[in-house]
A and B are shown apart, each in its own frame.
Chain A
Protein backbone atom coordinates (compact mmCIF):
# COMPACT_ATOMS: atom_id res chain seq x y z
CA UNK A 1 0.00 0.00 0.00
CA UNK A 2 1.12 3.54 -0.67
CA UNK A 3 2.36 5.46 2.31
CA UNK A 4 4.23 8.68 3.03
CA UNK A 5 5.94 9.21 6.37
CA UNK A 6 7.17 12.54 7.65
CA UNK A 7 8.67 12.03 11.10
CA UNK A 8 9.35 15.67 11.97
CA UNK A 9 6.16 17.39 13.12
CA UNK A 10 8.01 20.66 13.62
CA UNK A 11 11.42 22.22 13.07
CA UNK A 12 13.06 25.46 14.10
CA UNK A 13 15.91 26.73 11.95
CA UNK A 14 17.96 29.90 12.03
CA UNK A 15 17.59 32.18 9.03
CA UNK A 16 20.20 31.61 6.27
CA UNK A 17 20.90 28.07 7.40
CA UNK A 18 20.16 25.06 5.22
CA UNK A 19 17.37 22.78 6.32
CA UNK A 20 16.50 19.18 5.48
CA UNK A 21 12.93 17.93 5.78
CA UNK A 22 12.67 14.16 5.96
CA UNK A 23 10.34 11.98 3.94
CA UNK A 24 10.15 8.25 3.42
CA UNK A 25 7.67 6.49 1.23
CA UNK A 26 6.39 3.06 0.46
CA UNK A 27 5.04 1.70 -2.79
CA UNK A 28 5.16 -1.54 -4.70
CA UNK A 29 4.85 0.22 -8.04
CA UNK A 30 8.19 0.78 -9.82
CA UNK A 31 6.88 3.87 -11.61
CA UNK A 32 5.96 6.80 -9.40
CA UNK A 33 6.56 10.47 -8.73
CA UNK A 34 7.47 12.29 -5.56
CA UNK A 35 6.41 15.85 -4.78
CA UNK A 36 6.90 18.51 -2.18
CA UNK A 37 4.28 21.15 -1.54
CA UNK A 38 4.44 24.21 0.72
CA UNK A 39 1.41 25.43 2.65
CA UNK A 40 1.84 28.89 4.21
CA UNK A 41 -0.43 30.06 6.99
CA UNK A 42 -2.76 31.54 4.37
CA UNK A 43 -3.65 27.98 3.39
CA UNK A 44 -2.81 27.62 -0.28
CA UNK A 45 -0.88 24.58 -1.48
CA UNK A 46 2.18 25.56 -3.53
CA UNK A 47 4.02 23.02 -5.69
CA UNK A 48 7.77 23.12 -5.06
CA UNK A 49 9.56 20.22 -6.72
CA UNK A 50 9.05 16.88 -8.47
CA UNK A 51 11.20 13.74 -8.71
CA UNK A 52 10.36 10.82 -10.96
CA UNK A 53 11.27 7.31 -9.87
CA UNK A 54 13.36 6.78 -13.01
CA UNK A 55 15.14 10.11 -12.84
CA UNK A 56 18.88 9.55 -12.49
CA UNK A 57 19.65 12.93 -10.99
CA UNK A 58 18.23 14.65 -7.96
CA UNK A 59 15.71 17.36 -8.82
CA UNK A 60 16.55 20.99 -8.13
CA UNK A 61 14.41 24.13 -8.31
CA UNK A 62 16.21 27.27 -7.18
CA UNK A 63 16.89 26.94 -3.45
CA UNK A 64 15.02 23.62 -3.28
CA UNK A 65 16.58 20.27 -3.98
CA UNK A 66 15.26 16.78 -3.47
CA UNK A 67 17.68 14.23 -2.04
CA UNK A 68 16.33 11.08 -3.68
CA UNK A 69 17.63 7.79 -2.31
CA UNK A 70 15.63 5.14 -4.10
CA UNK A 71 16.99 2.09 -2.29
CA UNK A 72 16.11 3.68 1.05
CA UNK A 73 12.78 4.97 -0.29
CA UNK A 74 13.72 8.40 0.91
CA UNK A 75 12.91 11.78 -0.67
CA UNK A 76 14.17 14.52 1.62
CA UNK A 77 13.68 18.18 0.73
CA UNK A 78 16.68 20.44 1.19
CA UNK A 79 16.18 24.19 1.38
CA UNK A 80 19.39 26.15 1.10
CA UNK A 81 19.90 29.58 2.67
CA UNK A 82 16.55 29.61 4.45
CA UNK A 83 14.49 32.79 4.54
CA UNK A 84 11.78 34.02 6.90
CA UNK A 85 9.25 33.47 4.12
CA UNK A 86 10.06 29.76 4.16
CA UNK A 87 8.13 29.41 7.41
CA UNK A 88 5.22 27.15 6.49
CA UNK A 89 3.92 23.60 6.54
CA UNK A 90 5.68 21.31 4.06
CA UNK A 91 4.07 18.21 2.64
CA UNK A 92 5.81 15.31 0.98
CA UNK A 93 3.57 13.48 -1.47
CA UNK A 94 3.62 10.63 -3.93
CA UNK A 95 1.66 9.52 -6.96
CA UNK A 96 1.93 6.13 -8.59
CA UNK A 97 2.05 6.83 -12.32
CA UNK A 98 -1.00 4.67 -13.06
CA UNK A 99 -3.12 6.64 -10.57
CA UNK A 100 -4.61 10.10 -10.53
CA UNK A 101 -4.50 10.56 -6.80
CA UNK A 102 -1.64 12.08 -4.85
CA UNK A 103 -1.01 10.65 -1.39
CA UNK A 104 0.22 13.18 1.17
CA UNK A 105 2.22 12.86 4.35
CA UNK A 106 1.18 14.54 7.60
CA UNK A 107 3.52 17.45 7.00
CA UNK A 108 6.37 19.20 8.79
CA UNK A 109 5.87 22.69 10.17
CA UNK A 110 9.02 24.71 9.56
CA UNK A 111 9.77 27.84 11.57
CA UNK A 112 12.57 30.10 10.38
CA UNK A 113 14.00 32.21 13.19
CA UNK A 114 15.45 35.70 12.56
Chain B
Protein backbone atom coordinates (compact mmCIF):
# COMPACT_ATOMS: atom_id res chain seq x y z
CA UNK B 1 0.00 0.00 0.00
CA UNK B 2 1.43 3.40 -0.96
CA UNK B 3 2.48 5.56 1.95
CA UNK B 4 3.99 8.89 2.82
CA UNK B 5 7.56 8.46 4.06
CA UNK B 6 9.26 10.90 6.42
CA UNK B 7 12.89 11.09 7.46
CA UNK B 8 14.40 11.26 9.97
CA UNK B 9 12.00 9.82 12.53
CA UNK B 10 13.68 11.87 15.25
CA UNK B 11 15.83 14.97 14.87
CA UNK B 12 17.69 16.62 17.71
CA UNK B 13 19.14 20.07 17.15
CA UNK B 14 20.56 22.98 19.06
CA UNK B 15 18.60 26.20 19.35
CA UNK B 16 19.50 28.54 16.52
CA UNK B 17 20.41 25.79 14.08
CA UNK B 18 18.67 25.11 10.79
CA UNK B 19 16.89 21.81 10.18
CA UNK B 20 15.43 20.22 7.08
CA UNK B 21 12.65 17.69 7.45
CA UNK B 22 12.15 15.41 4.49
CA UNK B 23 9.10 13.75 3.04
CA UNK B 24 8.39 11.50 0.10
CA UNK B 25 4.68 11.85 -0.73
CA UNK B 26 2.60 9.12 -2.36
CA UNK B 27 3.83 8.89 -5.93
CA UNK B 28 0.73 9.96 -7.87
CA UNK B 29 -0.24 12.72 -5.43
CA UNK B 30 0.17 16.34 -6.45
CA UNK B 31 -0.83 18.20 -3.29
CA UNK B 32 1.40 18.32 -0.26
CA UNK B 33 1.03 19.56 3.30
CA UNK B 34 2.90 20.06 6.54
CA UNK B 35 1.29 19.94 9.96
CA UNK B 36 2.76 19.99 13.42
CA UNK B 37 1.69 18.63 16.79
CA UNK B 38 3.24 20.08 19.91
CA UNK B 39 3.27 17.44 22.65
CA UNK B 40 -0.17 17.09 24.19
CA UNK B 41 -1.77 19.60 21.86
CA UNK B 42 -3.84 19.60 18.70
CA UNK B 43 -2.48 18.90 15.26
CA UNK B 44 -2.05 22.26 13.50
CA UNK B 45 -1.88 23.07 9.81
CA UNK B 46 1.26 24.81 8.61
CA UNK B 47 1.25 24.96 4.82
CA UNK B 48 -0.05 23.42 1.61
CA UNK B 49 1.89 23.21 -1.64
CA UNK B 50 0.95 22.56 -5.23
CA UNK B 51 2.69 23.04 -8.56
CA UNK B 52 5.82 24.39 -6.86
CA UNK B 53 3.93 27.08 -5.04
CA UNK B 54 2.47 27.57 -1.59
CA UNK B 55 -1.32 27.31 -1.84
CA UNK B 56 -2.25 28.17 1.70
CA UNK B 57 -0.36 28.84 4.93
CA UNK B 58 -1.25 29.44 8.54
CA UNK B 59 -0.07 32.25 10.77
CA UNK B 60 2.39 29.80 12.30
CA UNK B 61 4.19 29.52 8.97
CA UNK B 62 6.25 32.69 9.18
CA UNK B 63 9.57 33.65 7.59
CA UNK B 64 11.34 31.08 9.75
CA UNK B 65 9.79 28.33 7.66
CA UNK B 66 10.09 27.41 4.00
CA UNK B 67 9.05 24.48 1.83
CA UNK B 68 10.52 23.10 -1.34
CA UNK B 69 10.05 20.32 -3.85
CA UNK B 70 13.70 19.89 -4.82
CA UNK B 71 13.06 17.01 -7.21
CA UNK B 72 10.26 14.79 -8.47
CA UNK B 73 9.88 12.80 -5.28
CA UNK B 74 10.90 14.81 -2.22
CA UNK B 75 9.09 17.56 -0.32
CA UNK B 76 10.97 19.37 2.42
CA UNK B 77 10.27 21.69 5.32
CA UNK B 78 13.14 23.94 6.37
CA UNK B 79 13.14 25.63 9.74
CA UNK B 80 15.74 28.36 10.08
CA UNK B 81 17.18 29.37 13.45
CA UNK B 82 15.18 26.88 15.49
CA UNK B 83 13.63 27.90 18.78
CA UNK B 84 12.75 25.81 21.81
CA UNK B 85 9.05 26.17 20.98
CA UNK B 86 9.62 24.55 17.58
CA UNK B 87 9.93 21.21 19.38
CA UNK B 88 7.03 19.14 18.05
CA UNK B 89 6.04 16.24 15.83
CA UNK B 90 5.98 17.40 12.21
CA UNK B 91 3.71 15.54 9.84
CA UNK B 92 3.87 15.57 6.08
CA UNK B 93 0.71 14.69 4.16
CA UNK B 94 -0.26 14.32 0.54
CA UNK B 95 -3.47 14.09 -1.41
CA UNK B 96 -4.52 13.19 -4.90
CA UNK B 97 -7.23 15.82 -5.08
CA UNK B 98 -7.23 19.55 -4.53
CA UNK B 99 -9.10 21.66 -2.03
CA UNK B 100 -11.73 22.30 -4.70
CA UNK B 101 -12.70 18.65 -4.63
CA UNK B 102 -14.96 17.53 -1.79
CA UNK B 103 -13.29 14.20 -1.13
CA UNK B 104 -9.77 15.42 -0.56
CA UNK B 105 -8.23 12.71 1.62
CA UNK B 106 -4.91 13.74 3.08
CA UNK B 107 -2.68 10.78 3.92
CA UNK B 108 -0.12 11.41 6.63
CA UNK B 109 3.37 10.13 7.17
CA UNK B 110 4.65 8.72 10.45
CA UNK B 111 6.06 12.10 11.44
CA UNK B 112 9.43 13.52 12.44
CA UNK B 113 9.88 14.32 16.09
CA UNK B 114 11.94 17.49 16.35
CA UNK B 115 13.64 18.20 19.64
CA UNK B 116 15.27 21.62 20.00
CA UNK B 117 17.73 21.83 22.91
A residues with CB within 8 A of B? 31, 33, 35, 37, 42-47, 50, 52-54, 91, 93, 95, 97-107
Q: A100, B55: Cβ atoms under 8 Å?
A: yes
Q: B45, A101: Cβ atoms under 8 Å?
A: yes
Q: A91, B111: Cβ atoms under 8 Å?
A: no
Q: B102, A44: Cβ atoms under 8 Å?
A: no
Q: Once A and B bind, how many residue pairs between them come within 8 Å at the CB atom?
A: 70
Q: Is the interface of A mostly helix, strand, loop or mixed?
A: loop
B residues with CB within 8 A of A? 31, 33, 35, 41-45, 48, 55-56, 58, 89, 91, 93, 99-111, 113
Please measure, in the bound complex, the distance between the C-alpha atom of A47 and the C-alpha atom of B96, giving whole angstroms.
14
A102/B45 contact (C-beta < 8 A), A33-B102, A97-B102 known: yes
Q: A33, B91: Cβ atoms under 8 Å?
A: no
Q: A52, B103: Cβ atoms under 8 Å?
A: yes
